[in-house]
Structure 1
Amino acid sequence: MGQRGSTQPEARVLLLGLDNAGKSTLLYKMKHNRLVGTVPTIGFNVEMFDVKKKKKNFALTVWDVGGQTEMRRHWPTFHQDTVAVVFVVDAADRDRAAEAKRELENTLTSEQLRGRPLAVLANKQDVDGSMTVTEIIDSFHLRKTCGDRDWFAQPCSASTGFGLEEALKRIGHMIKPPTESAPNVKENIRDTMNYIKFKSVRR
């Protein structure tokens, strides 16, 4: 999965999680296969991947949105046209597991995300004492919460790259290819920026 043409239809994937879950580190490791030093995301990052499914080429566009408390109220802004949600959990931070569970459940109640596939990435598996995928599935009640959608939980490490390639492939397999008439990447980024500016002015 490399660079892609900007005229390809876009399948938007939303990358969410609490602050310090490792979302941006994970995204850049997945894209560039190298560890990139990051600072807390104020706003969002966008990375694009070439995907081919059912003989159709399209851009898998991953939107990494900041996870700080003040940023979470903006998450619904990105729900429209999202084809899948990737929720990153800091598996090494047991103290915030309940907070992460609550934010995931709030996200999944969105009408715009109804039935959309979900990938839960249990990050920081390289840290001793991290929660296992089974622990997260059970404590987040994922089998019950995700009864109306395709989902999977994947152990990974944004630092080492463990599990990321497999996660990306599984995400690609879950989503439906966009139609040829779907907005292309540049149009979608522009429209999202305009919508955010409009909402900020209205506030």
Structure 2
Amino acid sequence: MGVVSSKFPFRSKKNVKILMLGLDGAGKTTLLYRLLLNEVVSTISTLGYNVETLHHKNLNLTVWDLAGQDSIRGLWKQMKFYYKCNAIIFVVDSSDRSRINEAANELSRLLSEEELKSCPLLVFGTKQDCDSPMDVPELTDSLGLHDVKDRKWYIQPTMTFEGIGIYEGLDWLANSIQTERKTLKEQNNQHSIKHKFLNTINNNQTNNNKQTVST
């Protein structure tokens, strides 16, 4: 399915840092290891963080799975997890309407962080195999995503145990990251060309002034 795990970097691939965030019990760690091992493993609530590397679409994706308990969420920024982040995966339990407002508030807080500005956002709506889960329109409204204008975002409903929807979401994220990098490279090239052009004009003016003085 295009995903393999590795403890060693792929030197010819581009490295990407992704934060996987969400409330406790949303299914972050189960989803991560479903991607990593292509199987479901028994997990317990993460107390700190897990870090794993996935290889997907010419990218090395280093995924930081951060614990989502309320007492720990405040440490996400203090521990400098946001530093040099390239993308965000936010995992939400689509079967738990009792905590959707809490999830929405946490997501809003994350998106307001300067260090995460413009990072593409992938929302995984897990547990779609439970009774009466929230669908994409309901999740979009409940999480306030229509108001998110400063970045690309996408919601992918998933059934982690069956592996349904996970790789489709990862495809979108990888494509978004590659597009963002291509755009940034083009902007840098344009800036470099403009800078060289202005330097050439300044040098010509300086040489003309010197010739005028000498005559």
* TM-score, with length taken from structure 1: 0.81
Equivalent in the alignment of 2:89: 86
What is the number of equivalent residue pairs in this alignment?
A: 174
Percent identity over the alignment is 40
Are residues 1:61 and 2:66 paired?
A: no
Equivalent in the alignment of 1:172: 174
Equivalent in the alignment of 1:70: 71
Could you tell me how far apart the structure 1 residues matched to 2:64 and 2:86 are? Answer: 11
1:96 to 93, 99, 113: 99
Higher helix share: 2
Are residues 1:134 and 2:115 paired?
A: no
How big is the shift at 1:10? 2.3
Equivalent in the alignment of 2:121: 118
Q: Is the 8 A contact 1:11 1:178 kept in 2?
A: no
Gaps of 5+ in 1: 180-203
Could you tell me how far apart the structure 1 residues matched to 2:181 and 2:84 are? Answer: 10
Greater relative contact order structure (CA < 8 Å, 6+ sep): 1
Two-structure CA RMSD over aligned residues (Å): 1.7
How big is the shift at 1:87? 0.3
Structure 1 residues 3 and 98, CA gap change in structure 2 (3 angstroms): closer
How big is the shift at 1:81? 0.7
* TM-score, with length taken from structure 2: 0.76
How big is the shift at 1:7? 5.9
Equivalent in the alignment of 2:152: 150
Could you tell me how far apart the structure 2 residues matched to 1:2 and 1:119 are? Answer: 20
Bigger Rg, which one: 2
In the TM superposition, structure 1's runs of 4+ consecutive aligned residues that sit over 6 Å from their partners are: none
Could you tell me how far apart the structure 1 residues matched to 2:160 and 2:81 are? Answer: 23
Structure 1 residues 148 and 38, CA gap change in structure 2 (3 angstroms): same
Could you tell me how far apart the structure 2 residues matched to 1:168 and 1:103 are? Answer: 22
How big is the shift at 1:178? 7.2
Amino acid corresponding to residue 16 of structure 1 in structure 2: L
Amino acid corresponding to residue 68 of structure 1 in structure 2: Q
Gaps of 5+ in 2: 183-215
